Amino acid sequence: MPELPDIDELTEGLDPAAAAVVKVVYTAFHQLEKYLDELRGQMSRVETENAELKRMLFGQKSERLVMPSAKREAAKKAKAAETEEQKVASKAATQKKRKARRAARKRLPVVEEPIDVPEGELRCEHCHGDFRDLGEGLVTEQIEHIPARLVRRRIVRQKKVCRCGETIVTAPAPPQVTDGAEYGPGLHAQVVVQKCADSMPLHRQAKAMARAGASVSRSTLGDLFHRSAELLAPIHARLLEQVAKAEHVNADETPLPVQAEGKCHQGYDWVFVADDDQGRPIIAHAYSPSRSGETPMRILGKSKGKLQVDGYSGYNQVTTPEGRERATCWAHGRRYFFKALKDAPEAGEVMDLITDLYAVEWQAQEKGICGTDAHRLLRQSASAPVVEKIEAWLDEHGPDAHPQSLLGKAIRYMREQDPETKEWSMKDSLKVFLEDPKVGIDNNVSERALRIVALGRKNFLFAGSDIAAENLAVLQSLVATCEANGVNPQDYLTDVLVRTREHPQIRIDELLPQNWQPPESAAA
């Protein structure tokens, strides 16, 4: 639509009455033009969303897939450009991984299964002599699954009496989760691991136990689960303290429905991913009844360092000049441009440039320099020019993109307005990774940590109460941190559940998943 002429030019030379009428018409027309412009943007957004829904509902299976991963696209480009030396090195790395898997299989317990030759086949056409063993025999191996089983653990504590009959000594009781507990620590741990690591709701666990020969009610399994969370809450609290001390933290949140009277209310599971002072990963979950910024403030407070998140404003209280520096996520920006791709094909240019940024990260990973100063130099030489190209693209296309369109929203995610000059520029938070090699190019590490929560939400639908959701966050943290550090959560929980009752609080760090050492008897 052509621009309206200046109102002063229109009213020049007119008498006051006619000028007033022209001004009224001019104002009304100007407002109508603005309203139509907004409608165009809304229609563009609705049409794009409608097309996306139709594709997901009625399209072929291959068309329902989400956007291609930038990391995989970068890997494809890198592999296509590999030299012969790089191909040989890549093949050697693959073979090394296969050897490691074979070595892990060799460490499995061996169950011998001898098979004797049937008596009727012990006949020789040449003589009638006796048969003898010929070496060990023909040996083959296969990996087999032995179904889990429940047992009654009959504990017999020895009692001794002095010859005089005056003194009786009884062997000490083995450690238990609680005094007089009917169920052992291993069963407590099994319930927790199956729910937090395998997303198996309690009623399915009850069915599995019935097949194993023991009928345990769902309510009893719930008691075991929540009792475990209450005992392990101090360890979870210590994990959160270590997150607040970390220099680099990634965070994200996801909805978690919680049962309430009438209907479920929307709670949220927050995840904070960091490394401890020795560089070992920590994955800590926290529950909140709302999505307000109270939870990041409660966990991180006024701590210093970097916080990598998406564009959600709930983290604003933590990312202040006095607090943490905010780093945002290139993967989120790429998703916005993917959504705008159908109505704005030029959005593909930005997607390709972001893929080039991931190609640089792929090179760093292949060279084994991630997080080092060499990684920083690589980013500044290879990634910084790509960021400049993206910024130039935004400057070129930004003024023409309607603010309400999907392309306008994609551009707005990547830009911010200077409060003094009122000019738009690339967000500084997207450039943090150029100066700090320990900051990722995206926030996918925390999104991956929330996948198990999303899968659990799909399987058991909701938490029973706010307290139950808090307990789930406690146990989810410990199981996830165990898995991140290569610790078997079943072994860890079985041991720690009986140790935490009398363990000195001042030495609580010994029971953290990344510090835990199995008991000497178990290690032997």
**Over the stretch 113-161, which tens digit does the pLDDT of each residue have?**
888 888 878 888 788 777 888 888 888 887 777 777 777 788 888 888 8
3-state DSSP call for residue 45? helix
Q: Would you list the domain boundaries of the chain?
A: 175-237+465-523, 329-442
Q: Which of 13-22, 109-118, 292-301 has the highest mean pLDDT?
A: 292-301
Q: Could you give the CA distance from residue 17 to residue 21 in angstroms, rounded to a whole number?
A: 7
| pLDDT surpassing 90 at residue 519 | no
Q: pLDDT tens digit string along 349-378?
A: 999 999 999 999 988 988 889 999 999 999
Query: Which stretch of DSSP H or E encloses residue 268?
Result: strand 265-275
Mean pLDDT score, 232-261 = 94
- Give the residue ranges of DSSP H helices in 398-443: 406-414, 432-435
| Distance of alpha carbon 334 from alpha carbon 290, whole angstroms | 28
pLDDT digits (tens, 9 = 90+) for 280-296: 999 999 999 999 999 99
251 has pLDDT over 70: yes
Cβ pair 150, 211 in contact under 8 A = no
Rg (CA), the chain: 32
Model confidence at 63, in pLDDT bands (50, 70, 90)?
very low
Q: What is the pLDDT confidence band of residue 384, given thresholds at 50, 70 and 90?
A: very high
**Which of 457, 94, 492 has the alpha carbon at shortest distance from 484?**
492
SS3 state at 214: coil
Contacts of 164 (CB under 8 A, 6+ apart): none
Separation CA 439–CA 107 (nearest Å): 37
Percent of the chain whose pLDDT exceeds 70 = 88
Count CB-CB contacts under 10 A for residue 368.
Answer: 9
Cβ neighbors of 101 (< 8 A, separation 6 or more) are none
Tokens 């706010």 found at: 466
> What is the reported pTM?
0.80
Long-range contacts of the stretch 381-386 (C-beta < 8 A, 24+) = 383/357, 383/433, 383/434, 384/434, 386/353, 386/356, 386/357, 386/360
Where does the pLDDT of residue 469 fall: very low under 50, low under 70, confident under 90, or very high at 90 and above? very high
Residue 37 main-chain phi, psi, to 5 deg? -65, -40
